């Protein structure tokens, strides 16, 4: 091979190599991605599970986290969700009654507990959460942070528990109604509220709050997280993700964050 032909050959090979190097990877199609609407309290666990799902090349993963009530209303309005994880049965029932979920895929996925939290540097010690405990006195001049008890599951459970314990009447006008449980957690983390009611799993993800008491399980309805595919959006990747939520790898992640797996 003469010198000119050799240079041309090398130049052509380099050009082909560069062209191949810069060819973009094939995009993940929408049909290959599962869009998961999940209760705010599952944010850390479901995000980690979704990352593992993607790493195992089972499909793409797009999450949306908010209060279960907000997500249910969005699904009702036509939001493009494939799968819904609710923090209570009420909002799953709401969608089921409207035939917005595939009821044949509905199962109870997780359980949780509700706890009373204070800022990590609070001088408050352990609180005996028992009938007629004086929560109003513990609040002093502050407010009780909790998810809005009119629609946020954690707040609904909290209100039920406080009613059962005879403590709700004394604090009902002193509740800082947050848009979801993570917003309630943030109020206590920042010291804007001296006490808050959140899930045990929320308290476990931060060192800026401490648990000062756990509500008796019998003081409120069982905390159940149902999951189901959204009607009309039961794609193969969505079905795979639903199955993956029940796999040993996902179970280990849920338990790491303090959930009980049903």
Check residue 31 and give its pLDDT.
Answer: 66
**CATH class as words, domain 114-219:** alpha beta
pLDDT classification of 12: cutoffs 50, 70, 90: very low
> Looking at the predicted structure, is the pLDDT value of residue 85 above 90?
yes
Which H or E element spans position 121?
none
Cβ neighbors of 67 (< 8 A, separation 6 or more) are 39, 40, 87, 147, 148, 151, 152, 153, 179, 180, 181
Residues 83 and 122: their CA atoms lie apart, in Å, by: 40
What distance lies between CA 138 and its chain's CA centroid? 29
> Looking at the predicted structure, is the pLDDT value of residue 28 above 90?
no
Q: Where are the domains of the chain?
A: 30-111+224-261, 114-219
Cβ neighbors of 213 (< 8 A, separation 6 or more) are 115, 116, 126, 127, 128, 129
pLDDT classification of 21: cutoffs 50, 70, 90: very low
pLDDT classification of 15: cutoffs 50, 70, 90: very low
> Looking at the predicted structure, is the pLDDT value of residue 62 above 50?
yes
Check residue 117 and give its pLDDT.
Answer: 98
Check residue 22 and give its pLDDT.
Answer: 41
Region 152-180 average pLDDT: 97
Residues 65 and 68: their CA atoms lie apart, in Å, by: 9
Q: What is the pTM of this model?
A: 0.86
Of 42, 38, 60, which is closest to residue 51 (Cα–Cα)?
A: 60
Establish whether domains 30-111+224-261 and 114-219 are of one fold.
Answer: yes
CATH of domain 30-111+224-261: 3.40.190.10
Query: 25 or 137: whose pLDDT is higher?
Result: 137
């Amino acid at each position: 091979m003469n010198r000119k032909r050799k240079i041309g050959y090398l130049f052509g090979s380099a050009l082909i190599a560069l062209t191949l190097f810069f060819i973009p990877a094939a995009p993940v199609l929408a049909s290959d991605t599962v869009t998961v609407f999940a209760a705010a309290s599952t944010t850390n666990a479901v995000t980690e599970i979704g990352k593992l799902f993607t790493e195992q090349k089972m499909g793409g993963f797009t999450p949306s986290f908010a209060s279960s009530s907000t997500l249910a209303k969005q699904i009702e309005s036509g939001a493009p969700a494939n799968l819904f994880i609710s923090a209570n049965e009420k909002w799953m029932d709401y969608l089921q009654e409207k035939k917005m979920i595939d009821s044949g895929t509905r199962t109870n996925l997780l359980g949780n507990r509700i706890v009373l939290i204070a800022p990590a540097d609070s001088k408050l010690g352990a609180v005996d959460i028992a009938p007629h405990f004086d929560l109003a006195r513990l609040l002093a001049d502050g407010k009780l942070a909790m998810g809005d008890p009119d629609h946020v599951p954690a707040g609904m459970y909290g209100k039920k528990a406080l009613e059962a314990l005879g403590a709700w009447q004394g604090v009902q006008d002193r509740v800082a109604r947050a848009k979801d449980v993570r917003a309630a957690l943030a109020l206590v983390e920042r010291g804007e509220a001296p006490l808050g009611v959140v899930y045990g799993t929320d308290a476990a993800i931060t060192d800026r709050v401490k648990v000062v008491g756990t509500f008796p399980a019998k003081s409120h309805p069982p905390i159940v997280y149902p999951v189901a595919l959204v009607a009309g959006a039961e794609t193969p990747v969505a079905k795979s993700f639903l199955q993956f939520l029940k796999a040993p790898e996902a179970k280990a992640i849920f338990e790491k964050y303090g959930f009980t797996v049903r």
